[in-house]
Each structure stands twice: as structure tokens, then as C-alpha cells.
């Protein structure tokens, strides 16, 4: 389901050793009310992670502008919160049909430094693939830079076919059709997502008694 209590130690990229940081992990869809968390997440990303996500160098202003639009653009956005802070992001963006008429979408995964190699990318991609198939999407595409071996391994673990094109690796995951069970499961997850989003809203002060 969308929420799970998981204790784990993220891995520091430079040392490959666990970081002494633990917290409850929850996976849920993001809504416009999550704008501040999205903005803070993108602005925390280092230059390498920004380049891996957007295939180019991206400044703070452009990231802040993108964060404002992310949850209202076509598709959906899912995040992983660790200890109440957004640490990983998955984006699903439909982009039309292929030559065979199959509906296609692109998925983008971003995991903050210090929280990698802890299964967050796998959680996101699993949720993205199910959401895509439930929307009638037959092909899921993901791009990454050639040096991003971890991302290549991740998408190949979901059966992706990889190819190198114009200096980028592109993986294609072919999806099965939706089933009543997959549709039911996403309906339950969406209801839980919305409930978690509501509880995350800032609490308004109660009016004083007259």
C-alpha cells in the first residue's frame, strides 16, 4: 500500500556506508498542497543529481518554477517521505502513441544523495508501472545518462530494453494490460494517499472562545 513503516539506514555515496539516519518511510501521490515540499526537494539536489534528472545543468530559479507546475502537469507525481521529509520523487508523463498505436509515457526518478541504495527507486518505479498500466499505457520510457549504472540496473530489473541514443540511455518497459485487481489496488492507494496528504497539511489554530 501507499504507506509503510520502514526503518533503514541510507547510504552515503562517497563512502558506501550507511548514514546514521532513520525514520518512518511513506510512499504517496503528491498534490498541489505539497508544493513547498517539492520546491525544497528540488533545491536540495546537487548539480550531478540535477543533471541526471533533467539531462542538463539547471539553476535554482528554473527548479523552483518547475516545482510549482509539477503536480498540475499531465500525469502524476509520487514521492517517498523519510521522517516526514520528501527524499525521492517519481514522475509519470504521458507523451502520445507510437507507430503501432500503443500509448506511451515517460517516467523520471530522482533520489536525493544520502538516501540511495535503500530501495526507494524500486518503490517508486513499482508504483509508476502499475499507475501507467491502469491508465492504458503500454510502453513506459525512462532516460538516463550513460554513467548512471544504478538507474540502468533498476529499470532492467523491471524488464526494460536499453539502448544508447544521442548520448543518453533509454529504457523501454512494456506493460501488461490492467486487471480488476490492479485497478482496485490503485483505488485503495489513492484514497490512502489523499488521507496522508490531508494529515500533512499545516494545522490551523483553533479560534478562541468568546
Q: What does the domain layout of the chain look like in residue ranges?
A: 25-200
Dihedral of CA 118/162/66/48: which sign?
A: positive
What pLDDT shows up at residue 187?
74
Q: How far is CA 100 from CA 74, 138, 141, 143, 164, in A?
A: 22, 11, 15, 21, 22
What is the distance between the alpha carbons of residues 125 and 78, in angstroms, rounded to a whole number?
10
Name the CATH architecture for the domain at 25-200: 3-Layer(aba) Sandwich (3.40)
Q: What is the mean pLDDT of residues 129-152?
A: 89
pTM of the model: 0.76
pLDDT band at 201 (very low <50, low <70, confident <90, very high): low
Sign of CA dihedral 161, 133, 108, 7: negative
Q: How many Å apart are CA 152 and CA 149, to the nearest integer? A: 5
Q: Tell me the pLDDT tens digit for each residue of 161-199.
A: 888 877 788 889 999 887 887 877 777 776 666 666 666
Average pLDDT over residues 70-86: 93
Amino acid at each position: 500500500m501507499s504507506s509503510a513503516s520502514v526503518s533503514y539506514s541510507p547510504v552515503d555515496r562517497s563512502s558506501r556506508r550507511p548514514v546514521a539516519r532513520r525514520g518512518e518511510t511513506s510512499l504517496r501521490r503528491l498534490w498541489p498542497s505539497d508544493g513547498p515540499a517539492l520546491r525544497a526537494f528540488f533545491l536540495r539536489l546537487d548539480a550531478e543529481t540535477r543533471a541526471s534528472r533533467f539531462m542538463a545543468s539547471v539553476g535554482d530559479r528554473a527548479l523552483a518554477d518547475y516545482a510549482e507546475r509539477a503536480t498540475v502537469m499531465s500525469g502524476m507525481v509520487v514521492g517517498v517521505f523519510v521522517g516526514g521529509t520528501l527524499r525521492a520523487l517519481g514522475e509519470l508523463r504521458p507523451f502520445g502513441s507510437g507507430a503501432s498505436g500503443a500509448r506511451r509515457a515517460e517516467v523520471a526518478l530522482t533520489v536525493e544523495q544520502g538516501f540511495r541504495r535503500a530501495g526507494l527507486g524500486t518503490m517508486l518505479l513499482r508504483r509508476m508501472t502499475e499507475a501507467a498500466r491502469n491508465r492504458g499505457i503500454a510502453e513506459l520510457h525512462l532516460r538516463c545518462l550513460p554513467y548512471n549504472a544504478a538507474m540502468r540496473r533498476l529499470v532492467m530489473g523491471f524488464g526494460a530494453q536499453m539502448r544508447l541514443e544521442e548520448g543518453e540511455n533509454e529504457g523501454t518497459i512494456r506493460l501488461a494490460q490492467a486487471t480488476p485487481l490492479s485497478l482496485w489496488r490503485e483505488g485503495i492507494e489513492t484514497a490512502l494517499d489523499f488521507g496522508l496528504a490531508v494529515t500533512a497539511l499545516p494545522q490551523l489554530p483553533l479560534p478562541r472562545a468568546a
